[in-house]
Chain A
Amino acid sequence: GQNIDQPTEMTATEGAIVQINCTYQTSGFNGLFWYQQHAGEAPTFLSYNVLDGLEEKGRFSSFLSRSKGYSYLLLKELQMKDSASYLCAVTDSNYQLIWGAGTKLIIKP
């Protein structure tokens, strides 16, 4: 079966750095997405990785290792507004998007 694992919940302090990990086992791989979802709202796109390495976009960076089936989302200089759920999603060989359950990130002052 296809599976995406990410921690259920994480807590971090305002101004700090947090890394949210995602491991996946899918039938094929055609890219990995990270989405942010605030409570009661729809997901919004954060990043996309299809090749190994680090993609940096402002305070957010995403890393991919295809050989390890592993990705992480790195959030720097955390702000209270970063409190949200972060969803990892992988495109499989049939171009289906397989979703992780999401990681709820709680930011404390």
Chain B
Amino acid sequence: GAVVSQHPSWVICKSGTSVKIECRSLDFQATTMFWYRQFPKQSLMLMATSNEGSKATYEQGVEKDKFLINHASLTLSTLTVTSAHPEDSSFYICSARLDRAYNEQFFGPGTRLTVL
């Protein structure tokens, strides 16, 4: 159980375009999902915490107008990278939390974004 899917697994786009990444909890309801970014050979960096039905909480330094997060249902959160630029190229990973007290996060397989 506790499977999280992410789509697409990789995407290549031109500079200036927008890219949407979907994160779904397949067999459980997740009131909270998390979006991470990871550059090569670096650690996970939390971008934002997404709560179903409310606005996402962004980490310091993450532009909320550039990285739009929508958590419209208990099983789906989306991250839209608007007007992507080459420096946005990274590995984007989502995770979902089943239980706040236990706090284990179940990760999606990640999305490799390359902006040309």
Stretch binding the partner chain, chosen from A38-46, A55-63, A69-77:
A38-46
**A6 and chain B: residue at smallest CB distance:** B43
How far apart sit A31 and B100, CA to CA, in the bound complex (Å)?
11
Q: Which residues of A contact B93 (CB under 8 A)?
A: 42-43
Known: A40-B91, A42-B93, A87-B44. A97 touches B107 (CB 8 A): no
Main SS class of interface, B? loop
The 8 Å CB contact of B109, one of A33, A41, A45, is: A41
- Digit string of A23-48 for contact with B (CB within 8 Å is 1, else 0)? 00000001101000000111111001
Tell me if A44 and B103 are in contact (CB < 8 A): no
The 8 Å CB contact of B44, one of A33, A45, A99, is: A99
Known: A40-B91, A41-B110. A33 touches B43 (CB 8 A): no
**A92 and chain B: residue at smallest CB distance:** B103
Q: Which has the most chain A C-beta neighbours within 10 Å: B44, B46, B102?
A: B44
Main SS class of interface, A? loop
A interface size (C-beta, 8 A): 18
B interface size (C-beta, 8 A): 20
Q: Which residues of A contact B109 (CB under 8 A)?
A: 41-42
B104 in the interface (beta carbon within 8 A): yes
Q: Which residues of B contact A101 (CB under 8 A)?
A: 42-43
CB-contacts of B95-114 with A (<8 A): 95, 100-110, 112
Tell me if A48 and B104 are in contact (CB < 8 A): yes
**B91 and chain A: residue at smallest CB distance:** A40
Tell me if A43 and B101 are in contact (CB < 8 A): no
Known: A30-B101, A95-B100, A95-B103. A42 touches B43 (CB 8 A): no
Given contacts A42-B108, A45-B106, A101-B43, 15 further A-B contacts (CB under 8 A): A33-B103, A42-B93, A42-B107, A42-B110, A43-B44, A43-B93, A43-B107, A45-B104, A48-B104, A87-B43, A95-B103, A97-B34, A97-B46, A99-B44, A102-B43
B: residues with CB less than 8 A from A are 34, 42-44, 46, 91, 93, 95, 100-110, 112
